[in-house]
Structure 1
Amino acid sequence: LLHIGVRVNISLISDFLIKMMKLPVRFFDTKMTGDLLQRIFDNKRVETFLSSTTLITLFSLINFVIFGIVLLYYDRAIFYIFSFATVLYLAWIFLFLKKRRELDYKRFDQMAENQSNLIQLIGGIKEIKLHNAEKQKRWAWERIQAKLFRVSLDFLRVDQFQKSGSAFINESKNILISFLAARAVIEGQMTLGMMLAVQYIIGQLNAPIEQLVTFIHSAQDAKISLERMNEIHTQKNEEEASNKIPMLPEKRDLNLQDVSFQYSGPHSPMVLQDISFSIPSGQTTAIVGTSGSGKTTILKLLLNFYEPTTGRVSIGDQSLVNMQNRMWRDRCGVVMQDGYIFSESIAKNIALGDEIIDRKKLLQAVKVANFQDYIESLPLGYNTKVGADGMGLSQGQKQRMLIARAVYKNPDYIFFDEATNALDAFNELVIMENLEEFFEGKTVVIVAHRLSTVKNADNIVVLERGELVEQGTHKELTALKGAYYHLVKNQLELGA
């Protein structure tokens, strides 16, 4: 059973992770990391239930049946009293299950919040120290602990009250049975040896009942844990592969038609409003605008992370929502502002998704990203392991690794979201020159503020407060002296 319990636990967590990988990005926008981690840790209760509690309870029930038959043979009256008291005892236990369930969910929520808070404390330790916020953050953590303590205290109070009632019923039963057995001995209806045998049998019957109560509590805990897992399993998958188109259409222009979008939430504002423009295949399109104008949101819609609230995003004449996500994203090379670096070797980080790394593609990718000299200067070269989220790398080095990752895929579509904003002028110049050659024949979408990354685009789309206000080439838009001109003048420092 221990072997089965461990295997079932691994299987549950594995199924949970498989399901989690299939969920849409918007699901993770509404879930704290601590919540998901706590659901995984909760599976330990399922393992405990299967491996230890179940086996012990099984043997206890066998003992209960055998000694119950023996007691019935010795004295029917005592057997019936014991049976009635046992039913009353179990009824008392079941009376508290609903309250235990409520408190378990409350405790889960607090523990999930605690997990998320600790993750933030560890991840944000540099910012905490820089702003002398140790005390405030510690107080915030202590407030969570106070809530967790109160919930745990409520749980303990209910548990103690339940145990007190159980002990009262159990001891009353034992006293009554002892009294009846003693009286039977005095009246000559039972020998002293029989009375001692009955007392021994009662002791042997009490232990399985206690074990049964432990089993009931453990079963409830396991059931609650499985329900929490099932909350994730009942979520709708990002896509059903059987219903999706597995190949790109002949016409490969990207089109946004009357697209409006708002993030989930009852009072969320519209991030995009009636956006319509085309991204011609094989050309470079730049999207510019002030912060919060919806540039990154458009990239997320183009990558099918979200579906538009209204309107349509399409490739040629096919709606993007009808395309198979694995196929579509396999054709896309992406560098996002918050791109993640894994705690793996540099080579595995760049060749993310490939079990066998293509050495030729790897060298080409790091060359384009101007990252080759740095990597080859390291003692372990491409096998150098980096810390989680790029620990040990500068922001510029992280960006070059992310650019190399996008180039390694040799994709048909490239999406860059502020992909060079952390680079120094020299590295940016070299990388942009390398990318110009790499971009040939590919559909490129660039979100940026710097003039050097957008001025050569075939088409520039200008956003303002979620609306498309201008589009055209760099020359055309600067001649208009409108929104783009002011962005160029103020943010890209043109003509300064």
Structure 2
Amino acid sequence: MKKLFSVLKYTGNYKGYTLLNILFNILFSLFSAATLALIAPFLELLFKTDLIDIGFMVLKGPPEFSLSSEYLKTAPNYYLALLIIGYSKGGALLVICLAVVILTFLKNICRYFAMYFIAPIRNGVVRDLRNKLYAKIIDLPLSYFSEEKKGDIMSRMTSDVQEIEWSIMQTLEMIFREPLTVVILFTLMLIISIKLTIYIIVLLPIAALVIAILGKSLKNAARKTKETLGSLISIIEETLGALKVIKAFNSEKNMRNKFGEQNDQYFRQSVKVYRKTDLASPLTEVIVTGILMLILFIGGKMVFTGELTAALFITYFGLASQLIPPIKQITTSYNNIQKGVASEERIDKILKADLIIHETQNAVIKKNFDINIEYKNVSFKYTKGDTGYVLKNINLNIPKGKTIALVGQSGSGKTTMADMLPRFYDCDSGEICIDGQNIKNLQLASLRNLIGVVTQESMLFNDTVAANISFGLQNVTPEKIENAAKIANAHEFISQLSGGYQTNIGDRGGKLSGGQRQRISIARAVLKDPQILILDEATSALDTESEKLVQEALSNLMKNRTSIVIAHRLSTIMNADEIIVLNKGEIIERGTHNQLLQAKGTYSKLCEMQSFK
């Protein structure tokens, strides 16, 4: 039951709207019951033809008020008799008809306001959940995403959030409106006949058992369907990011087959979910109808024996018949909530994920870099279960203003070593210090403010050139943006764009060439003006002119900065103050270019092969 209503925890910010929704749902149920309660007086009016009996009833006076079933049976008859005496049978009939119309109007007004107040809850929860998910995704460490599919995360932010929105509406209806309607109906039925109502109470758990079994099965099926949808979106995301590769390798057919297989699996699982969902309502109706027919049989015999009047029995049966819609709705809501619970569990998996990269209490705000960066016996592995370390016992001192080149074959740990400085990952043992302070004791934002990163692949956003250059900075003047672009050798081509600096560059900068994208990335780093620079040299195949411009831009960027360069070009390596050669996560050589060449070790072989990637 706790899990069943777990989706309601997201409505905490909307207590006022929730209470109003509950209030109008309660009023809706009361007006619905009042409408049904008029059936008995209406039938009594039709069946009672003896005005002497009616007059005698009035002369007896009103029954004494009590909460007994006898009072609730006799009071309507007394007031009906007053109507007949005062207005005649025709007038009384008109009053009852008008009362039904008014009650129906009030009932539907309440229903509208219940839905009116649930609208901001539903949409507000969707907004809040997506904001929370996005904020958590931004905060999660990079290691989290190496274990998760991007498409599955996107599915949780879209499909699963929508499922919770729908479940909230169903939950509010199931908790308050429908059960209250059932309770009121049962109360009226108990007043008319305790015996018949006991039969129903004994038999209804059969329907409840069927609903519970079906609901559990549906929850499991819904969770599998959501996971498959996540895989499906992952394939779409991969395809959009690799269309050029797919076409170049003539893999359209293979990708179509891969997508088709996943889509077929989603189709089959969705069909199962829909069939199970659609089974609940008719199955419940069949069971409840069977119970009603049994009541019809028993109640008919009670009329024959005089235990119950025909008018009261017809009223009772009408009330019992009205149990079907709310019970069916409860069944449908229960099953929809089960799907919502499955989605809530998937969303919670992200929201409750450990951030891993934690900021200590009273973290130090560091505004300047003055002395050095030092790696002290640093070791690291991506996940706790890994047997091998990506980095092992790394010791390195980088004085301010120096350029360090990290060299090694692919998989040697170069990028991981650089990524640990801005705390994209935290070391498992050892420590990294800036000016003698462990970076774990520094405020994360202030640490990253000291560092500029230029990645191997230019990461640009679907926005203007100016917005991409000033990314992450506030109140940057156009003059500063233009100056950064000039230093990065980007101003000339930007000026030739149709909208200049206000030109939208498309998804991931797709409207620009590779060299142009790289120069905008460099301009972004120039504008940030970091004291420490991490540079993963681009290995993209550029034309000679573009490569020259990019290299000049990088040289301009590195001037008077402390730089850690994941080097791929011999020219960059030769100019470095110290070269660190990595192999399988360990430093195996260090020194200047000439020193390492003379040592005739791994570095010398890499130079001969030009293998710095």
TM-score strictly above 0.5: yes
What residue number does 1:210 align with?
A: 328
CA distance in 2, matches of 1:436, 1:317: 29
Given that 2:406 and 2:566 are in contact with CA atoms closer than 8 Å, whether structure 1 keeps it comes out as: yes
What residue number does 2:156 align with?
A: 39
Cα drift, residue 163 of structure 1: 5.2
What residue number does 2:366 align with?
A: 247
Identity %: 31
Given that 2:405 and 2:564 are in contact with CA atoms closer than 8 Å, whether structure 1 keeps it comes out as: yes
Alignment of 1:25-174 (within 5 A): 25-41=142-158, 42-51=160-169, 54-55=172-173, 58-156=176-274, 158-159=276-277, 166-174=284-292
Distance 1:260 1:448, change over 3 A: same
Cα drift, residue 160 of structure 1: 6.1
- Does the residue aligned with 1:293 lie in a helix, a strand or coil? coil
State the AA in 2 paired with 1:484. Answer: Y
What residue number does 2:350 align with?
A: 232
State the AA in 1 paired with 2:451. Answer: C
CA distance in 1, matches of 2:385, 2:168: 42
Match of 1:19 among 136, 153, 157: 136
CA distance in 2, matches of 1:207, 1:85: 17
CA distance in 1, matches of 2:211, 2:458: 52
Give the gaps of 5 or more residues in structure 1.
Answer: none
Deviations 1:38-71 (A, max 9, x none): 2222111222233466358744344333332221
Q: Choose between structure 1 and 2: higher helix proportion.
A: 2
What residue number does 1:4 align with?
A: 121
Deviations 1:375-425 (A, max 9, x none): 000120000001111212222111111111111100000111014654444
- Does the residue aligned with 2:148 lie in a helix, a strand or coil? coil
CA distance in 2, matches of 1:82, 1:280: 84
Given that 2:219 and 2:341 are in contact with CA atoms closer than 8 Å, whether structure 1 keeps it comes out as: no
Distance 1:344 1:443, change over 3 A: same
Deviations 1:344-375 (A, max 9, x none): 00111111112422323312221121111100
State the AA in 2 paired with 1:292. Answer: G
State the AA in 2 paired with 1:84. Answer: V
Given that 2:533 and 2:561 are in contact with CA atoms closer than 8 Å, whether structure 1 keeps it comes out as: yes
Using the TM superposition, name which of 13-22 and 162-171 deviates more. 162-171
State the AA in 2 paired with 1:68. Answer: F
Deviations 1:53-93 (A, max 9, x none): 63587443443333322211221111112222233322331
In the alignment, structure 1 residue 407 sits paired with structure 2 residue 526:
yes
Cα drift, residue 461 of structure 1: 1.3
What residue number does 2:468 align with?
A: 349
Distance 1:397 1:213, change over 3 A: same
Give the gaps of 5 or more residues in structure 2.
Answer: 1-117
Tell me the matched-pair count. Answer: 493
Given that 2:303 and 2:313 are in contact with CA atoms closer than 8 Å, whether structure 1 keeps it comes out as: yes
Distance 1:430 1:163, change over 3 A: closer
State the AA in 2 paired with 1:35. Answer: D
- Does the residue aligned with 2:579 lie in a helix, a strand or coil? strand
Given that 2:141 and 2:424 are in contact with CA atoms closer than 8 Å, whether structure 1 keeps it comes out as: yes
Using the TM superposition, name which of 16-25 and 249-258 deviates more. 249-258
Given that 1:57 and 1:215 are in contact with CA atoms closer than 8 Å, whether structure 2 keeps it comes out as: no
Given that 2:280 and 2:332 are in contact with CA atoms closer than 8 Å, whether structure 1 keeps it comes out as: no
Given that 2:232 and 2:262 are in contact with CA atoms closer than 8 Å, whether structure 1 keeps it comes out as: yes
Alignment of 1:65-464 (within 5 A): 65-156=183-274, 158-159=276-277, 166-237=284-355, 238-240=357-359, 242-247=361-366, 251-264=370-383, 266-267=385-386, 269-419=388-538, 421-433=540-552, 435-464=554-583
CA distance in 2, matches of 1:14, 1:70: 47
Cα drift, residue 165 of structure 1: 5.0
CA distance in 2, matches of 1:210, 1:305: 52
- Does the residue aligned with 2:361 lie in a helix, a strand or coil? helix
TM-score scaled by length of structure 2: 0.75
Using the TM superposition, name which of 384-393 and 227-236 deviates more. 227-236
CA distance in 2, matches of 1:396, 1:430: 8
**Structure whose CA Rg is larger:** 2
CA distance in 2, matches of 1:480, 1:451: 17
- Does the residue aligned with 2:379 lie in a helix, a strand or coil? strand
- Does the residue aligned with 1:81 lie in a helix, a strand or coil? helix
Cα drift, residue 30 of structure 1: 1.1
